[in-house]
Amino acid sequence: MPIIAGVDIGNSTTEICLARLEAGRANEYLASSVVKTTGIKGTAANVPGIVIALEEALQKAGLSLQQLSEIRINEATPVIGDLAMETITETIITESTMIGHNPSTPGGIGLGAGVTAAYSDLDRAAAGEKILCVIPQGIDFEDAARTLNQAAERGIDIQGAIVRQDDAVLIVNRLKRRIPVVDEVTLIEKVPLGMLAAIEVAEAGQTVKTLSNPYGIATVFGLSAEETKLVVPIARALIGNRSAVVVKTPQGDVKARSIPAGFITITGQRGKTDIDVEAGAVKIMEAVERVQPVLDVQGEPGTNVNGMLERVRQVMSELTVQPLAEMKIQDVLAVDTFVPLQVQGGLAGEFALENAVALAAMVKTSRLPMQQIADLLTERLKVKVVIAGVEANMAIRGALTTPGTDKPLAILDMGGGSTDAAVITKDEQVFAIHLAGAGDMVTMLINSELGLNDFDLAEDIKKYPLAKVESLYHVRLEDGTVQFYDQHLPSEVFARVVILKEDGMLPIPAEHPLDKIRHVRREAKKRVFVTNSLRSLARVAPTGNIRHIEFVVMVGGSALDFEIADMVTDALAEYGIVCGRGNIRGLEGPRNAVATGLVLSYQRKEV
């Protein structure tokens, strides 16, 4: 009665299935475990995580290493995701021509236009002159409001104010005439004085209309058609803002500097094609499908995309100790996204969303790194270690332990770095595909589009639902329902968008509203998981037509997600496919499919 350990090395987790096998009798599944994968999947750095997971499973089963007959590991293909920018249009503003940030509480409402004047020079302004007052650091809000009221009483037409401190609402509340006020301008000393300027503040929940429109700016400043072309980058950078200031200086230079992403050359079994990254994700993926299966992908020398692809090769070459020339990229997934870029020349850390293309690249390595893992495990544990088979083939054997399933069957194995699909026919023929892009890419998109610069926070946003704390005793969930609490909530979460984790609420430090965060999260999942599910199933369908697949079982860590499985199910319903989460061995849910399949592969050969 051999005791076998199936070890599934994934991008995010390493899973174990421990079973006692005996010919002619039902398998006795002893224990399972899951731990975080150490290092990049498919490298020698995986060994410590495998050992920890094995020890945990053996402890649960009350066994020792010496009782293990064999350890069976999967052939793990590593996947690395990175961002390659598409035609990033960097807005360059010289001579401090623009301010366009979004303080959380600007004051007043409306549009004002006039000449910028220092707070200390208000008493020199002439009656009837239209003024935008620039109020520096250290001026008390009551003094500022009093001075503005006195200037207005002398006949000066105060059109608005630009303030260094967070005082906009306090100042406006004390004015006799309501004017737009933008505050929190960190580099206020760089605001040019004596120049024509416009300021706009929208109502709460609204965005600026005039200064985010190039023709609106042209109207305010009396620009010619040629000058209007130059202010397009300014207008674009102000789209979505609640407040904005534009200052016109004679020496001001506004231009959009294009940073080309370059083209990629995709070599496949059906030919070779070049595609410019500027064409976008849809065109890139069409090119991939024309030549697939992909043999390698190269980037244009000296460009952004080439740097990204070569970095992926370099990392994998170093980790697997294989020559750089042997590192071939066997699949890419391209997704259109947005990246917040700082506007060069802004005065308050302004950002503008620019187009980008996210690329997940999968490097094909030889069997050598897996053999290194097997050799290291054998040496350390003194147990026979076998590389048993390809992930997708193992996953489909594990998926067949789900109650209510039978051949023919297709599986979607959705992990951290790759999406695998496989089909097993009635006569036990297996067709499998291994594609780049899964949970890690979704996290990367969320991190990028929300400008978080915090991968762990983006991972939490991906995995858990959201809520808005509306009082210390209730929250509004993202589906609109309200949840009340007997005890008051921590004060630090009040009025914040929070992530609802198992161990409590985690406030999101960014100022994005709940609806935007939810939209970014859901769209990232659709663009990665739904796209990859459809293209992987189309590749493995025996006839090449996805409609000829009847049943699909979803397995892998990402199938546990609270909304991904529903998204994929909805997408496949259009093709008349029955789809649902797996329940491996009737108790593991969608996890442990590959590990279970590895155990079963031993039984087929040996028992």
pLDDT digits (tens, 9 = 90+) for 536-553: 999 999 888 888 888 999
Is residue 399 left, alpha or beta, with left meaning phi > 0 and alpha meaning psi from -120 to 50? alpha
Question: 311 pLDDT band (50/70/90 cuts)?
Answer: confident
Q: Which long-range contacts (CB under 8 A, 24 or more apart) does 505-514 make?
A: 505/467, 505/469, 505/475, 506/457, 506/460, 508/457, 508/461, 508/466, 509/457, 510/450, 510/451, 510/452, 511/102, 511/104, 512/450, 514/466, 514/467, 514/468, 514/478
Using omega within 30 degrees of 0 as the cis cutoff, is the peptide bond preceding 293 cis?
yes
Tokens linked to 581: 């989460």
**In this predicted structure, what is the pLDDT of residue 174?**
94
Shortest CA distance to 239 belongs to which of 209, 216, 275? 209
Give the pLDDT of residue 299.
87
Radius of gyration of the chain (CA): 30
Compute the distance between CA of residue 181 and CA of residue 169 in angstroms, rounded to an integer: 8
Query: In which residue ranges of the chain is CATH 3.30.420.40 found?
Result: 1-77+366-403+588-607, 404-582
Give the pLDDT of residue 517.
Answer: 96
Q: Give the residue among 453, 34, 92 at the shortest CA–CA distance from 252.
A: 92
Report the CATH number of the 404-582 domain.
3.30.420.40
- Residue 251 and residue 70: Cα distance in Å, rounded? 76
Parallel/antiparallel/unpaired status of strands 418-424 and 409-414: antiparallel
Torsion from C-alpha of 205, 209, 214, 217, nearest 10 degrees: -120
The pLDDT value given to residue 306: 83
More confident residue, 278 or 400: 400
pLDDT digits 0-9 by tens, 131-152: 999 999 999 999 999 999 999 9
pLDDT for the residue 607: 41
pLDDT score at 198? 93
pLDDT at 92: 54
pLDDT of residue 390: 81
Burial class (CB in 10 A: 0-12, 13-18, 19+), 372: middle
Domain with CATH 3.50.30.70 in the chain: 91-253
* pLDDT tens sequence across 445-481: 999 899 888 999 999 999 999 999 999 999 999 999 9
Per-residue confidence (pLDDT) for residue 95, from 0 to 100: 45
Alpha-carbon distances, residue 261 vs 48, 62, 303, 450 (angstroms)? 39, 56, 6, 22
* pLDDT score of 370: 83
Integer angstrom CA distances of residue 347 from 134, 188, 191, 194, 396: 13, 7, 8, 17, 57
- Write down the CATH number for the domain with range 91-253: 3.50.30.70
Q: 448 in helix, strand or coil? A: helix
Q: Which CATH class is domain 1-77+366-403+588-607?
A: alpha beta
Residue 204 confidence class, pLDDT cut points 50, 70, 90: confident
**Per-residue pLDDT at 367:** 62
153 vs 125, 156, 170, 175, 215, CA distance in Å? 12, 7, 20, 11, 34
Q: Which of 85, 511, 510 is nearest to 338 (CA)?
A: 85
Tokens of 156: 């000066």
Homologous superfamily of domain range 81-87+260-364: Coenzyme B12-Dependent Enzyme linker domain (3.90.470.30)
Contact 364, 328 (CB under 8 A): yes
Q: Is 321 buried (19+), middle (13-18) or exposed (0-12) by CB count in 10 A? A: exposed
d(CA 542, CA 563): 29
What is the location of CATH 3.90.470.30 in the chain? 81-87+260-364
What is the helix (H) or strand (E) element at residue 145, kind and residue range?
helix 141-153
pLDDT in tens, 80-111: 655 555 554 555 554 445 566 667 788 999 99
Residues in a beta bridge with 253: none
Question: Tens digit of pLDDT for each residue in 6-32?
Answer: 999 988 899 999 999 876 667 899 999
Dist. CA 113–CA 93, nearest whole Å: 20
Tokens 């198992």: give the residue. Answer: 502
Contacts of 452 (CB under 8 A, 6+ apart): 446, 458, 510
The confidence band for 350, taking pLDDT boundaries of 50, 70 and 90, is low
DSSP string, 359-410: EEEEEE--SHHHHHHHHHHHHHH-S-EEEEEEHHHHHHHHHTTSTT--SSEE
The answer to whether the CB of 595 falls within 8 A of the CB of 582 is no
Structure confidence by residue, pLDDT tens digits, 510-530: 888 999 999 999 999 999 999
pLDDT of residue 345: 58
Residues 6+ apart with CB under 8 A from 353: 240, 338, 339, 340, 341
Residue 118 and residue 107: Cα distance in Å, rounded? Answer: 19
Across the range 144-161, mean pLDDT stands at 94
- How far apart CA 44 and CA 42 sit, in angstroms, is 7
